[in-house]
Amino acid sequence: MTGMTILEKEKDLQTFFSVGDKYEKIINLGRKLPPFPAAAKIEENLVAGCQSLLYLECTVRDGLIYFNADSDALISKGLAALLICIYSEEAPDALLTHLPHFLRGLGLRLSPGRSNGLASLYAQMRSHATEWLSNKEATHGI
């Protein structure tokens, strides 16, 4: 989904999820995430509030934020992949201005635990973006 706007990415995901088994698609999205480095499986990268062990790694290069995730649960990893599809390779402020309302349009029926975990993951992504933007402002005096 490189080179697409957030809205184009959302529309692409909605089309992808319009037909077929949604949970199978979520699991397959998770399987397509790049390998997660063992060295990044540290407490600092754990997503609090998730039922499973979910790790989130964040880097910023050339003003764009990149995420990678891994989980011991296939559904959790796939749900992380959904957010990564939308927010990775975007400017960090996109996470602050563009909420994940697209999830409602996918027709997923998540348990309260999975919904809370997904909300916690998004909150951690936002936290990374906010931290990077704060550091940028402090460094550049903006």
Which domains are present in the chain? 6-140 (3.90.1010.10)
| Residue whose C-alpha is closest to residue 118's, from 58, 50, 53 | 50
CA distance 12 to 127: 26
Report the SS3 class of residue 19.
coil
Looking from the CA of 132 toward its CB, the CA atoms found within 13 Å total: 22
Closest CA to 87 of 1, 6, 33: 6
Report d(CA 105, CA 96) in Å as an integer: 20
Q: State how far the Cα of 70 lies from the Cα of 6, in Å rounded to an integer.
A: 23
Distance CA 62, CA 99 (A): 23
How many CB atoms within 10 Å of residue 23? 14
- 70-125 pLDDT, tens per residue? 999 999 999 999 999 999 999 999 999 999 998 888 888 888 889 999 999 999 99
Q: How far apart are CA 73 and CA 66, in angstroms?
A: 22
Give the catalytic positions in this structure: 50
Q: Measure Cα distances from 87 to 32, 77, 135, 141 in Å.
A: 16, 15, 20, 26
Among the ranges given (11-15, 53-57, 135-139), the one the predictor scored with the smallest mean pLDDT: 135-139
Per-residue pLDDT tens for 48-69?
Answer: 988 899 999 999 999 999 999 9
pTM: 0.90
**HSE (CB half, 13 Å, CA atoms) of 78?**
18
